[in-house]
Amino acid sequence: MNFIVFPGQGSQKIGMGKMLSENFPEAKEVFDEVNDALNLNLTKIMWEGSDNEISLTINAQPALMACGVAAFRVLSKLKDKNLNQLADFTAGHSLGEYTAMTVAQVFSLKECSVLLRLRGEAMQQAVPVGKGAMAALIGASINQTIEIIEKAQIHGICDIGNDNADGQIVISGDAKAIENAIEIAKNKGVKRAILLPVSAPFHCRLMQPAREIMQEALNNLKFDAPLIPIVSNITALPHTDPSTLRKNLIDQVTGTVRWRETMNFAKNKEVKKITELGSGKVLTGIAKRMIKDITNESFENPEDFDIFL
């Protein structure tokens, strides 16, 4: 069994996708279509902008999606295979789930571009700057983390934002609660507890205003059945029912990204190969640490496809 995955926010960087666009017409078509859908020269920001510009949530989300879809279309063309011939399951980390749904033909590239621009804007505006925060707990177990956030919640909301891998958990919520959780984690002997440089506290209850905006937008969009099952961030299980896929994207805004359990699902299904498409190699890195005897490959630049060919 094979698994195709798409990265989330944090994997963005200046220049991503530029070489793909210059070397493969399939990729260029993707970037041109995203620019047109947004009525914005997003690729100019991606390729000539500053780190600050590309890291803005409203830019990073559609940009990362465009890179993932472009890489997929190049791979599909070179292999002369459709998604259901390339993989048995697909998934994406946070916004990457939108990328997965786009390549699985749940909705169009144009529709996804508009959705992610809206999602980025809604998530950024949901919490005033400085009120929220996120922190990484390195070396903490899920049970340890639950104990930590239960104590920290006397200072405000403190949720598990991303359960990324064994010993790699991100917490999200009110800034005071997150700062308190960092101190509690250090006293509990957690290897490292680090405040993350993010613009908003994603995947926690503070994102409720963004959830309501996305609920309205997603309810007004037609969802088709995917070409292959999509393993949801919110359930860590595969789904094909359009109404369930819609609900998963709505719940995902305030819910935990259960990536550790997604990799455990892949392990239990005896997935033999995980392919990461788009910017970076974060997800294949997690897969290597969590699943023995699995083949990992990532496609981001033309040379990655040269090696494959």
Three-state secondary structure call for residue 72: helix
Please, which contacts does 32-40 make with residues 24 or more away whose CB atoms are closer than 8 Å?
Answer: 33/109, 33/110, 33/113, 34/62, 34/65, 34/66, 34/109, 34/113, 36/110, 37/109, 37/110, 37/113, 37/114, 38/62, 38/113, 38/114, 38/117
Does one domain contain both 115 and 60? yes
Find the Cα–Cα–Cα–Cα dihedral 232, 192, 298, 90, rounded to 10°: -10
Does one domain contain both 16 and 108? yes
Does one domain contain both 193 and 230? no
Residue 281 is predicted with a pLDDT of: 94
Does one domain contain both 232 and 102? yes
Does one domain contain both 145 and 248? no
Query: Encoding tokens for residue 131?
Result: 């009120």
CA distance 13 to 5: 18
Residue 287 is predicted with a pLDDT of: 95
Answer with the one of 155, 177, 198 that is the final residue of a domain.
198
Does one domain contain both 116 and 139? no
Residue 308 is predicted with a pLDDT of: 63
- Domain range for 70 is 2-126+206-308
Q: What is the DSSP letter of 211?
A: H
Answer with the one of 167, 198, 229 that is the final residue of a domain.
198
Does residue 147 contact residue 176 with C-beta atoms inside 8 Å?
no
Q: What pTM does this model have?
A: 0.96
Does one domain contain both 163 and 95? no
Low-confidence ranges of the chain (pLDDT < 50): none
Does one domain contain both 245 and 298? yes
Looking up tokens 């990536």, which residue turns up? 259
Q: Catalytic residue positions?
A: 94, 203
- Nearest alpha carbon to residue 253 among 146, 125, 138: 125
Answer with the one of 148, 170, 198 that is the final residue of a domain.
198
- pLDDT tens track for 244-275: 999 999 999 999 999 999 999 999 999 999 99
Query: Encoding tokens for residue 62?
Result: 């559609």
Residue 309 is predicted with a pLDDT of: 63
Does one domain contain both 184 and 234? no
Residue 305 is predicted with a pLDDT of: 84
Residue 129 is predicted with a pLDDT of: 83
In total, how many domains does the chain have?
2
Residue 10 is predicted with a pLDDT of: 87
The dihedral sign for the CA sequence 279, 283, 285, 287: negative
Measured in degrees and rounded to the nearest 5, phi and psi for residue 35 equal -55, -45
Strands 168-174 and 132-138, by their bridges, are: antiparallel
Residue 197 is predicted with a pLDDT of: 84
Burial class (CB in 10 A: 0-12, 13-18, 19+), 296: middle
Residue 229 is predicted with a pLDDT of: 98
Q: How far is CA 300 from CA 16, 30, 92, in A?
A: 8, 14, 15
